[in-house]
């Protein structure tokens, strides 16, 4: 089965004062349908830059990115915005929700943006929130609910419009361990069930037990890929695995 998301020799170089810095270089990955991938690595390793390029928020310097075989490197700003709202679901670390919209309205926002809002999709949005345990918060404003609940709403919003790719930038950064695990587990379940291609940037390596593959980045390049679930399960939460986020210690 062809991958939903694929990159080939993807790179991003920043230039200033005659100096160039490769934030991301030579990254080639494939993420298939129903596959959930974690991007790990120390700060400055290029995870977020890679995620921004995959989300079409940042133009690459070289290489290609394709979703369902459709390369979007040459899109203009307007086309990229359309691509994002139609094909990509995004959960951020913070500032995820529109503060003056209720939980259900925040989820429905993606439907409205894509002109898919109707009685049937609205019911689906409600069902998704109920599934995420937010049946009592449907009409609550973000300021009236906890961070964990806000992140669950963001997850619902990132999935409601049937995106091909779901991206998450440290979605559990502001949550305690228990809530973080709940959120990522639900996220992983939905990605698997709905056959999306999911990528999550995380610093919390305990969350890797919910993903299918872990890609470790160092200095902008892929340093190591842990492919099998058994390896991930063995390593998750161990000191050995924690060293993934500080690869200089491995050396």
Partner 1 sequence: MAIYLSFKEIWRNKTKYFLFSLVIALISVLVLFTAGLGEGLATNNKEYLEKLNADLLIFQKDVSFSTIESRLDFKKFKRSKRIDGLEDAGPIAFSNVKVITQNEEPIDVSFIGVEPFTPGAPDAINGNNLQTYPSKMVLIDENIANLLSISPGDILTIKSTQGTDDKLFDLTVTGITSGQRYFFRPSIFVTLPTWDRYRPKSDPNNYSTQPVLNVIAIKSNGKYDLNRLSTIISDTLDDIETADIVTSYESAPGYSEQQGTLNTIKGFTFLIGTLVIGGFFQIQILQKLPQIGMLKAIGAPNGLVSSAAISQIIMVSLFGVIIGSTVTFLLASSLPSNVPVYFTPSSVAITVVTLIFIGPLGGLLSIRMAHKVEPLTALDM
Residue 76 sits in the site that holds partner 1 (CB under 8 A)? no
Cβ at position 72, least distance to partner 1 in Å? 13
Sheet of strand 88-91, all strands in order from the earlier edge strand to the far edge = 88-91, 165-169, 197-201, 35-40, 213-218, 221-226
The owner of tokens 């940042």 is: 58
Q: Which CB atom, from 37 or from 107, has the smaller least distance to partner 1?
A: 107
Residue 96 sits in the site that holds partner 1 (CB under 8 A)? yes
Residue 139 sits in the site that holds partner 1 (CB under 8 A)? no
Q: Which of 8, 33, 42, 57 binds partner 1 (CB under 8 A)?
A: 57
Residue 48 sits in the site that holds partner 1 (CB under 8 A)? yes
Rounded distance between C-alpha atoms, residue 39 and residue 228, angstroms: 15
Residue 84 sits in the site that holds partner 1 (CB under 8 A)? yes
Residue 86 sits in the site that holds partner 1 (CB under 8 A)? yes
Cβ at position 65, least distance to partner 1 in Å? 16
Where in 173-232 is the site for partner 1 (CB under 8 A)?
none
Task: Report whether 214 contacts 64 (CB < 8 A).
Answer: no
**Which one of the spans 96-104, 122-130, 176-184, 215-223 is the region binding partner 1 (CB under 8 A)?**
96-104
Q: Which CB atom, from 201 or from 232, has the smaller least distance to partner 1?
A: 201
What are the E-state strand segments in the chain?
5-16, 19-27, 30-31, 35-40, 62-67, 70-71, 88-91, 165-169, 197-201, 213-218, 221-226
The structure tokens listed for 72 are 């979007």
Angle of helix 147-159 versus helix 103-113 axis, rounded to 10: 20
Residue 138 sits in the site that holds partner 1 (CB under 8 A)? no
Task: Report whether 196 contacts 155 (CB < 8 A).
Answer: no
**Total interface residues for partner 1 by CB under 8 A:** 32
Q: Which of 82, 203, 206, 243 binds partner 1 (CB under 8 A)?
A: 82
Of 225, 205, 198, the closest CA to residue 90 belongs to 198
Cβ at position 78, least distance to partner 1 in Å? 7
Which distant-in-sequence residues (6+ apart) come within 8 Å of 202 by Cβ? 38, 39, 40, 170, 171, 172, 184, 208
Residue 95 sits in the site that holds partner 1 (CB under 8 A)? yes
C-beta atoms surrounding 33 within 10 Å: 17
What spatial distance separates the first Cα and last Cα of the chain, rounded to whole Å?
37
Cβ at position 41, least distance to partner 1 in Å? 15
Q: List residues binding partner 1 (CB under 8 A).
A: 48, 51-52, 55, 57-58, 77-78, 81-86, 88, 90, 92, 94-96, 98-101, 105, 109-110, 112-113, 141, 157, 169
């Amino acid at each position: 089965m062809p991958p939903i998301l694929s990159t080939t020799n993807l790179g991003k170089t920043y230039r200033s004062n005659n100096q160039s810095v490769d934030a991301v270089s030579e990254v080639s990955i494939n993420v298939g349908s129903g596959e959930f991938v974690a991007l790990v690595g120390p700060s400055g390793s290029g995870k977020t830059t890679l995620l921004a390029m995959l989300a079409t928020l940042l133009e690459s310097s070289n290489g290609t990115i394709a979703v369902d075989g459709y390369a979007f490197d040459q899109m203009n700003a307007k086309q990229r915005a359309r691509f994002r709202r139609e094909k990509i679901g995004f959960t951020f670390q913070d500032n995820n929700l529109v503060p003056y919209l209720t939980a259900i309205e925040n989820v429905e926002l993606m439907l409205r943006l894509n002109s898919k809002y109707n009685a049937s999709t609205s019911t689906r949005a409600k069902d998704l929130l109920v599934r995420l345990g937010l049946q009592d918060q449907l009409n609550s404003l973000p300021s009236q609910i906890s961070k964990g609940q806000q992140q669950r709403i963001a997850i619902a919003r990132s999935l409601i419009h049937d995106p091909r790719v779901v991206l998450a930038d440290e979605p559990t950064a502001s949550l305690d361990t228990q809530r973080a695990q709940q959120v990522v587990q639900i996220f992983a379940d939905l990605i698997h069930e709905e056959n999306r291609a999911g990528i999550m940037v995380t610093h919390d390596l305990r969350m890797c037990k919910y993903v299918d593959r872990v890609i470790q980045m160092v200095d902008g390049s892929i340093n190591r890929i842990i492919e099998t679930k058994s390896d991930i399960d063995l390593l998750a939460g161990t000191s050995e695995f924690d060293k993934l986020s500080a690869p200089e210690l491995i050396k």
